[in-house]
Structure 1
Amino acid sequence: MRGVVTEHVETVVIGGGQSGPAAAHTLVRAGAEPVVLEASDRAAGSWPRYYDSLTLFSPARFSALPGMPFGGDPDRYPHCDEVVGHLTAYADRLQADVRTGHREAAVRAGHREAAVRADAGGFAVELEGGACLAARALVAASGSFGRPYRPALPGLDSFAGQVLHAADYRSPAAFAGQRVAVVGAGNSAVQIAAELARESVTTPATREPVKFARRHLLGRDLHFWLTRTGLDTAPLGRLLRTPPGRPVLDDGRYRAALAAGSPDRRPVFRHLDGDKVTWSDGTTERLDALILAAGYRPDLPYLAGLGGAPGASGRPRHRGGASLAHPGLAFAGLEWQRSLSSNTLRGVGRDAERAARRLAARLSRA
């Protein structure tokens, strides 16, 4: 029967990628007993599904989860396969109950579920397949990869060519010889467009010119200076109504590629019609494929029935990761949750630690 509790646990952490295990690490150290639920078959989150050529934007020395540094050269930029290995090894070492293949369906406030015998701040976590966990506390750490943002572009719904999000892109081989447009101006958009340009005629379509940031300053990676100056951890998230765009980290090759017209950056098109695209200058041509690299939104559909948790905008209402609607609920891995680095490997550990520490203190008081 839906909603009938099959197991009682202390704390449920939803998401076994990077932020969930980071939060569980702090909870364990505080004496809590978290159960980590990961929908896929391994505790690596979305990293196994990123495009083939992806490497981290930050060096290994800045990109490890709490308590387990990356091995090897600390100044290299690890490939996504290395990140998968790091995350799965981290989960194996974690002294917590990590359950893969467990996808949550819904979360409900515990006091509204007759079968939940936890305190009034508890939750009922319903899983696909019918199981239901009663938990005193909950950490939502499911990231955003599962909710790609699809911008409202004129004619998109009736476009006859191939449409996919950057979340579904793997390599340029599938687009060899085609005419392709990539919508977006961030790191992934520019990287994907640049490698596509080697196999196809590719245009990054952006609302404004692409902004670049030098990857190295005075012989040091940019992240060294962000860390040294404190900008990477400055608590600016609570001051932002809308997360700002970020410049493309570049060692010079992407700026040079765009300057040479390969790929050929243009303003976002006027509209799509069938398999045709009309650009802002009025020219029309056939388009084979459109790749949307416009970012993501928090993937929290399971909180829809938890009144007030996601907020009317779909974004969580929180302060530093602590829910403003439910005392026993915390978030980890949100963009600008607290700082510039909040949803990155280099920063998620700090934010998860703060949120989990508060949650552990509440559990101990209770």
Structure 2
Amino acid sequence: MKIPFSPPFIDQAVIDSVMDTLRSKWITSGPKVKELEQEMLNLTGSRAAICVNSWTSGAIMMLKWFGVKEGDEVIVPAYSYCATALCVLHAGAKPVMVDVLDDFTIDPIKVRYAITERTKAILAVDIAGWPCNYNLLNAVIKDSAVTKMFYPETENQLKLGRILLISDAAHSIGATYGGVPAAQKSDIAIFSFHAVKNVTTAEGGCICLNLTDNFNVAEEYTYLKMYSLNGQTKDAFTKTMGSGWRYDILFNGLKINMPDICAAIGLAQLRQYKDLLLPVRKKIAYKYNNTFSLFSWFVPPPLSNDERESSYHLFPLRIRDITEEGRDQIIEYLSGKGITANVHFIPMPMLTYFKSIGYDIQDYPNSYRQYACEISLPIYPQLTNAEIDYIIVNVANAVKEQIYKTKMLKKAS
């Protein structure tokens, strides 16, 4: 049996949507992008949605929009994909890394201690689909002692009057918090539509705005659409609709717009997401969870509680008292059985580039602890019951074998 890690969900509805775009003769940014933005508003209940060509470019744009620059600081978790910190560096600022909690998410207490007069934003990462503790994070940034430390230097910083809270929602499309979409719990939530995500556009992302009433969200939407197209007053589709060819460049923007050919893929998936794709993911996650709970070595991942519910993007299996090397051997065992597993994530301070600029994994012990025992198992709608059972049996056998090897090595020493 061959089981890939995370193939895209491509059904006839997706194919029809793409073919419709091709037949329309309009493949760059146009009506399909607008439809996808509307579907994101329907799903998240946000005040505005701007589609872009990747999560990373969207995050860079929003940091620049807020006026983040050289000398500023943005707090990020050490346990995340590299883009979380790279976008800060691309904006010219310094990523200030803090450790995570046992549920993989950024530790609000460590965030509080990391805040300085140079802190302009917090990038909180929803790992595996599980939302961060946004109630605590909001309490931190709205605390009077913290707001007194905030020195606005741009118009948008003055309007907000405090540290900007951005949700790195790359994993958490469809997650909920307090009975509402989790995206509503931050000022800005940025989603990823990369090929392995719950909803994909091959490459792409979406910025959802839930800014305070000090902002005119409709004006911000118009501005950000221009920002994503080089600061240009008209996109190509608008010009073809009879508004004339003449345009202007109002400011130094970026070229990060999403094309319709990509939006068509995500649009067909998103329209099936709440009723089909997300429930299937949830069912698989709980089958894993309920079965592995029979084993003493299993550390359950956060899936749902009275406050939060995951989007079930990943199933982050954790194995109690395993070493990093032992974890890697389990992944090799699974590979030998035709099962492709993964690890999310190598903490950023362990990566060569971040080590070269001064970050040390020893400063983030819980990030390492979670990473060393984590294996991301396949979880996607196309998995059959037979494949899920095959994965479960082979994981159990692999862990049993590894635990036995560890015991024998301890006896030998």
- Name whichever structure is richer in strand by fraction: 1
Task: Tell me the TM-score normalised to structure 1 length.
Answer: 0.26
- Indicate the structure with greater helix content: 2
